[in-house]
Structure 1
Amino acid sequence: MPITNLNNTHLTTAQVDTAKTSLTTLEAALESINVNLSAEDRQKYGSINEQNKLFVNKVYDFNKNQPELSAIEVDWAEFGNDYTSRQNYEGLIARLDSLVTRLKNAKTLHDYDNYQAALTDYAFTAYKAGTASPGYEVKQNELKQFFSKTTKSDGIPPADKA
């Protein structure tokens, strides 16, 4: 017997509404930084790797601690703004990535629960269709299209066909 109901925690309608409203607020707050980069732009500008981040950090440190050694050709106010924005975005991205991972994990458990319950219902349908109960043969025919093969003689599809 499969383990079912791995996640019995469900958001209320009010919690879902609050989350959606919060996402809308976040989207509006970040609207001013929305930039559409083409695939070519993304390739051209890319993101700096860890070594280059360390390089940027060191240049920033030198500018803050020994500004007389900094190139006058660089707009250091803009450099500082870019640096601060980069740090802020990295922090937000890390938090959002963590949130997305947690949502995906919870969804995975609900998906599993739904699939296991659907398999149970399909097995019941196959049983009832075998007893010639009205409506079950049609239901079974509609459901069995989702499975290319069955591994058991009772018509229950294999669990790994999700």
Structure 2
Amino acid sequence: MPRSTLVAPDKLLSVGQLATRSGVAVTALHFYETKGLIHSTRNAGNQRRYPRAMLRRVAVIKMAQRLGIPLADIASALSALPNDHIPTAEDWRRLSQGWRADLDRRIDEMIRLRDQLDGCIGCGCMSLKECPLRNKQDHLGDEGPGPHLP
């Protein structure tokens, strides 16, 4: 839903300008808006207009997506940021701190997977039945072939 803004109309960006400056497709910006990640106002001609602060939000969204952070988590983090002014460095620090533990956990897991991959390449088994990399914690496999869940 569009929100009002205190920004002068000449300081607002059209969706095309936001797309060009951010490098994100117009359709993606519309999608982000429907998910509450960014917001716009409407001008007299009912066209979307975005505060320049949305450039920073879009940059954070794209960076977070590259890190594999789900859109729901991105939306939750962005919802804590102010809508009435450009977020401060402290606002951004708090946002990134919220993702740090998950990123650290995933980095540790990727390092373990990388190290296991080296071992698998050396052993050459790549057994779907026993390999801890390809068949991590497969408890249903112990029950034999075929489906085991209703």
TM-score, reference length from structure 1: 0.26
Q: Which has the higher contact order (CA 8 A, sep 6+)?
A: 1
Say which structure is richer in strand.
Answer: 2
Which structure has the larger Rg over C-alpha atoms?
Answer: 1
TM-score, reference length from structure 2: 0.28
